[in-house]
Structure 1
Amino acid sequence: MTVPSLDWVTSGFAVRFRIGPDQPVALVSFVPSGGALSDGPADPQPLVELTTVGHGRFPGGFRHVDSTVGARLRYVSHTATDGADASAVVVTGPEVRIVQADAATGLQTVSVFRAHDGVPAFRTWTEVRAERGEHVVDFVSSFASGAWLTDSGADVDDLSLAHADNDWSAESRWRTDRLREIGLARIDREAQHHPPRSRAVVQNRGSWSTGEALPIGVLTGPGYALVWEIEHNGPWLYELGETRSAAYVLLSGPTDQEHQWTAVVTPSAPFTSVLVSVGIADSVDGAFGVLTAQRRASRRTRTADAAMPLVFNDYMNTLMGDPTTEKLLPLIDAAADAGADLFCIDAGWYAEGHWWDTVGAWEPAASRFPGGLSVVVDHIRSRGMQAGLWLEPEVIGIHSPLASTLPDDAFVQHHGVRVAEHGRHVLDLRSPAARAHLDGVVDRLVGTLGVTYFKMDDNTMTGPWSGSVDGGRALLAWLDDVQQRYQELLIENCASGAMRADQAMLSRLHIQSTSDQQDPVLSASIAAAAPAAMLPEQAGNWAYPAPGTSPERFTLSLVNGVLGRMYLSGYLNEMTDGQRAVVRSAIAAHREVLGVLGTAVPVWPLGLPGWEDPWVALGLAVPDGDLYLSVWSLPGGPPSVALPLAGYAGRSVSVTALFPTEAAPWTVSWDASAGVLHVDDGGTTPTARVFRVRTEGADAER
């Protein structure tokens, strides 16, 4: 018997949904454009999993599949933006909506899928509605499927997951694990008469959306890679497990079980789950190429974003939160002489003394700026640079006067009690009073003082919070409004480094601080891995050369910033003429990369960087065929490494040093037949270089 299905065919991929009358809808096949769709297993993973208080799972367990409501959902209708009627079995538009209903509870779900032209990925989410009654939803998936197993012919034993732990000053620690080694126990399914109940889970708790892990995964099998990203600026979870006959991946925002989150759904109050993106490729590098294209297609940009200014920030290994007019003026002159486009005054500008638990008003400290902060801002502009300020808008110190003058509903609360963490309260941007306070701060600093850049930090994390989804969306709405009012204002996303580096924030902000790490050697793997978590043109990598360090360490600290958005710091005013020349050379190399950064695709010839890898490499492949390649030799490794560059195998290439312009003492040689670039560090470590790899004859062709 043939089960009815719906095929969605776009310029980037094709998807098949099973829509039989006696089963919930399931996404059973997902292939790149031109691939052959399959019908999937007899008992596919339902597209939607949904639990409420009173309607849980069967069989019970910790997994979020096998929900009783999800199993009872039945297809009602579908619509597509190509205008096809509900009887169409193939739709081609950029959006598909599939409605299901559970007769027992009166709940309806709408699964929304949205595609971008030519990108083998889609965005999807779930809308939950109630025809009657009140329902306390404690879990709803944004996406669930096991399609990749059928399409690839892989077994669970063949599958591995690439994922990344994240922490303060230790961001983007990638590793690849076989599913059997991270939770999916092999059992005799037939003997047990039930599916396995084990699962592999990656999640993040609290308001730091990337404080524990990145919301990104790549599931790989032979010649197949499924990639996903959860686009939420709060808690989230993804889960992998097995059904009776196959396996599944499930993506969601917060849950009651893991995050103490619920939502009440009534006929007048629906709920929309968090957005997720899912893509298909044939390798890990290919998967991140797909994710890069998806991020670019989904990002909201303005004219101001296209400028991509080179930012000097006075904080890291420099003023460290202690700016004054006296200290800033020589740094401003040195930054301008080096070629910076924008000077950002970091933390401390608002503080007369101890400030951590008293912040919130964001008024300049008179003792730091005897003539007023405007004197410093005017000097920045007089040197041809834009002016920026560090700002942590969402917090109010527990000893700030604003903690008592703002109403209770202006703050994040849990069980009716105002949350206090690390000496701070956190503003709830759903509150008109909280929003009015921040609007006043922005109007004063941008509209009056003339600042055109905010380093927006977030150093205080809330714990469990039932309003985390709506509160996160209110923050995004506020940011959208601010940038609509001030079209020239650029906002950097920062949260103790990259503790909130999610795509919900990155889709609308200019640049992402990739770390608070102060050691340039430890920063190397963070910088190399950054384009896996964000667009290359948003990866704000610190480059903080120090006057007293060795030449190779000085160079390495600048290499960290070349392939991305160089975020310059350091006492440039105390450097020798030779050191300042090296800085200018790094900036020149970076500006060459900036010219192609918005079209570049990241690749990792040595694989995704591990935290303690002795050799690390990041490449940016650009459409004209060039490859910009940063290579780091770190302590503890051999003096040489072989870098596979498969796309150049069998071709004659030129490898030139981009920064520094002389590779010595490094040496490089190209093995065309093997497609391998051999690199030797000349016996120096830690050390790093940036190369340009170009097919010979390409210059003439251009």
Structure 2
Amino acid sequence: MAPTAPRRADEASTFEWAAPGLHLGFDFGDDRSVRLVRLATGPDAASAAAPWPVVDVITNTGEQRARNDQSLLHSKAGQRLRYAGHESLDGELRISQHDAETGLEVTSVFRAAGPGLQIRHTVRNGSERDLVLLSVSSAVVAVPDTGEQELLWGESEWLAEGRWHQRPVKELLPEVNVAFHGQFSRGIFPVTGHGSWSTGSFLPTGVLASAAGPSLAWQVETSAGWHWEVAQTGPTNTIGVHGATDFYHQFAQRLAPGEEFTSVPAGLCVADRGRDAAFAALTDYRRAIRRMRPVDARLPIVYNDFMNTLMGEPSTEKLLPLIESAAAAGAEYFCIDAGWFAAPGSAWWVSAGEWREGSGRFTGGLLSVVDAIRANGMRPGLWLEPEAVGVDSPMAKRLPEDAFFQRYGERVIAAGHYQLDFRHPAARAHLDEAVDRLVDEFGLAFFKLDYNRNIGAGTEVDADAPGTGLLGHTRAFRDWLLGVQDRHPGVLFENCGSGALRMDYNILSVAHLQSTSDQQDFLRYPPIAASAPASVTPEQAGNWAYPAASMSAEETAFAMTSGVMGRLYLSGFLNELSAEQSALVREAIALHKDWRHRIAASVPSWPLGLPGWEDEVLALRLDAGAQSLLAVWSRGEAAEIGLPELEGRTVEQVYPAALPQWAVRTGGGAPVLEVPAGPAARLFEIR
């Protein structure tokens, strides 16, 4: 569609836009801003949306909010916006609006991505005076309140990532009879991420599920502060999705005349019915926004020496038997984790940042270990924490002062580290040199990029507010990672944030792999592994599998099952395992290799519901169409579980072959699985 001509007075104030699996409708008027009035999977499908403005903008100019409220909706500047045109080009819809009072110009972009939308808004100061932005919504959509919808949100913390909750909206936003009071409702259900661990407390993803009508799923795509909320808005419940804001994150962006600011992207998906359909749409949307490279498509199995193994104290003598046993098990990459850059016995945590081989760490040097990795048929990798400089690192004095985060004129220190600011050219140049040198010197094919601190609100260097500085840094870090990948197209980059405390699609859209936890207790990993596909594509969900010699055969299979159901991330003293355990490890790896490309085309579902942290029986199904893979973990007493979603399908146990089969009864109806007392786990192929 070509750009629209100026609107005539008699022209209809509605327009539509469609993409495969999406149908949107909008209206506008001389007395109102552009509203989204329809959001559906097709022209004949039910709409998930009720009329509501497409964007909210809060500025320092004049009245900030149009009503007494605690939500970020109803901004005065947003309500003054008026339609200025729209165009559709290359899978994007662009809507232009203008606020005559302040001179703000807003361009809203709706980009089709798989079955979903990626939405962002660019605000331009078209006036002759400075304006300060205090918040810009990323996505806003009102949903008719049917009384039966349920809201899903996730909590997270170190070692207990991805704990999902599902509650009726009417319990979270109680009906208070606002008509009797002659007022608007002020109730909201807010979920907020603070600081630089974007998933340190809550997940930037939500679902409004309906069993009787359309369901919505959304995510905030930023590594800085974010916020989403569901607010009571009369006969609707309105979802507002935001990046950093003044109210929640100390954000402010001053715009001189002609300057622009673009909101963080939001992903929005609509499904015709139900929780799992919404998550399936979100999974395919995430795949659509990834910057995939040929090297990413191989989906190799990585062994890492940290978890329950060397824990940051590698040496030649410790690594060589691990290298041989990892290769024998079927690993394709071998990553040497933290500590490689420090002398033995030194305080490597506070000395990190120069990224050179530690003196005396490796007999024969690090290169000899890397050569051993290659000699065993694997590709080498190293751990790196690019944004960190230890307080005792030489780089703490070599780099300029304004290359570090600062508050109140002093460097920010967290857990013995300074935080580099990737907006600064010296910070980027330092890491460019380090990565290029390590790749050239050691022929590396993999980097585990870690991030082990929540640095707080942000930095005040070259920023109107600390939250603005943090947002700028995270955007610059993503750009740096893209540049490194362009220079080294054959190198894979894992995203790890002290486990999964920075697990967002600002980074995951360009990273190969996401560690899903630092949890080392294999009995506590299943709820993390089973819930991970709600936050990340299954093929990026790096679920650790670290068998140990102290485990029984059932416990070994239990630990390996968690790894298979996503992206198997291998660790542990494999050289100490019994022959029976080694066979179970090799069998799991072979099964994962057989399934990994089907997993990369699968969508998740949860036959027993999203897992609770203390659930005794958990289940995850990865549905690849004609075939799917089902994992069931038992952590308690024996039980029988029904699988109604598998009625009429064949359920066959495929792992482990050497341990007892779990009985599956059909009787002409839905399968019933007899689950023994745990710990025990099985994998089933569904056809």
TM-score normalized by the length of structure 2: 0.94
Distance, in Å, in 2 between the alignment partners of 1:586 and 1:359 is 36
Name which of 16, 27, 41 aligns with 1:18: 27
1:165 aligned residue: 155
* Displaced runs of 4 or more, over 4 A: 36-41
1:144 aligned residue: 140
1:291-346 CA-partner distances (Å, limit 9, x unpaired): 11111111111111111111111111111111100000011011111111011111
Name which of 457, 468, 471 aligns with 1:469: 471
Aligned 8 A contact 1:131 1:266 in 2: no
Aligned 8 A contact 2:663 2:674 in 1: yes
1:398 aligned residue: 391
Aligned 8 A contact 2:48 2:270 in 1: no
Distance, in Å, in 2 between the alignment partners of 1:280 and 1:610 is 25
**Deviation of 1:553 (Å):** 1.2
Name which of 52, 56, 80 aligns with 1:49: 56
Distance, in Å, in 2 between the alignment partners of 1:316 and 1:40 is 46
Name which of 433, 439, 446 aligns with 2:432: 439
2:44 aligned residue: 35
Aligned 8 A contact 1:629 1:691 in 2: yes
2:519 is the alignment partner of 1:517:
yes
**Deviation of 1:470 (Å):** 1.5
Aligned 8 A contact 1:6 1:19 in 2: no
2:221 is the alignment partner of 1:231:
yes
- The secondary structure found in structure 2 opposite 1:180 is helix
1:40 to 1:526, Cα distance in 2 relative to 1, 3 A = closer
Aligned 8 A contact 1:665 1:681 in 2: no
Aligned 8 A contact 1:16 1:37 in 2: no
1:68-115 CA-partner distances (Å, limit 9, x unpaired): 11111111111111xxxxxxxxxxx62111111111111111110011
| Residue identity matched to 2:109 | V
Name which of 102, 106, 118 aligns with 1:105: 102
| Residue identity matched to 1:107 | L
Name which of 523, 527, 530 aligns with 1:528: 530
| Residue identity matched to 2:153 | H
**Deviation of 1:36 (Å):** 4.8
Instruction: Identify the range of structure 1 (233-242 vs 323-332) with the bigger mean alpha-carbon deviation.
Output: 233-242
Distance, in Å, in 2 between the alignment partners of 1:495 and 1:644 is 37
Name which of 56, 79, 93 aligns with 1:96: 93
1:626 aligned residue: 627
Give runs of aligned pairs for residues 319-398 of structure 1, distance below 5 A: 319-352=310-343, 353-398=346-391
Distance, in Å, in 1 between the alignment partners of 2:182 and 2:409 is 45
| Residue identity matched to 1:26 | R
- The secondary structure found in structure 2 opposite 1:357 is helix
- The secondary structure found in structure 2 opposite 1:517 is coil
- The secondary structure found in structure 2 opposite 1:364 is coil
Distance, in Å, in 1 between the alignment partners of 2:151 and 2:638 is 28
- The secondary structure found in structure 1 opposite 2:434 is helix
Calculate the aligned-residue CA RMSD, in Å: 1.8
Aligned 8 A contact 1:606 1:644 in 2: no
1:671 to 1:439, Cα distance in 2 relative to 1, 3 A = farther
Give runs of aligned pairs for residues 192-211 of structure 1, distance below 5 A: 192-211=181-200
2:540 aligned residue: 538
**Deviation of 1:368 (Å):** 1.7
| Residue identity matched to 2:260 | P
Aligned 8 A contact 1:617 1:629 in 2: yes
**Deviation of 1:17 (Å):** 0.9
**Deviation of 1:194 (Å):** 2.4
**Deviation of 1:269 (Å):** 1.9
Aligned 8 A contact 2:494 2:515 in 1: yes
Distance, in Å, in 2 between the alignment partners of 1:447 and 1:19 is 57
- The secondary structure found in structure 1 opposite 2:414 is coil
Distance, in Å, in 2 between the alignment partners of 1:602 and 1:102 is 43
**Deviation of 1:560 (Å):** 0.6
| Residue identity matched to 1:136 | V
1:140 to 1:416, Cα distance in 2 relative to 1, 3 A = farther
**Deviation of 1:379 (Å):** 0.5
Identity %: 43
Instruction: Identify the range of structure 1 (323-332 vs 235-244) with the bigger mean alpha-carbon deviation.
Output: 235-244
| Residue identity matched to 1:634 | R
**Deviation of 1:499 (Å):** 0.7
**Deviation of 1:209 (Å):** 1.0
Paired residue total: 663
Aligned 8 A contact 1:163 1:217 in 2: yes
**Deviation of 1:569 (Å):** 0.8
**Deviation of 1:195 (Å):** 1.2
Aligned 8 A contact 1:345 1:388 in 2: yes
2:125 aligned residue: 130
**Deviation of 1:4 (Å):** 2.1
Unaligned runs of 5+ in 2: 1-9, 459-465
2:314 is the alignment partner of 1:317:
no
1:632 to 1:26, Cα distance in 2 relative to 1, 3 A = same
Aligned 8 A contact 1:358 1:396 in 2: yes
2:675 aligned residue: 681
**Deviation of 1:672 (Å):** 4.0
2:445 is the alignment partner of 1:459:
no
Distance, in Å, in 2 between the alignment partners of 1:663 and 1:12 is 44
1:574-600 CA-partner distances (Å, limit 9, x unpaired): 112221111111111111111312211
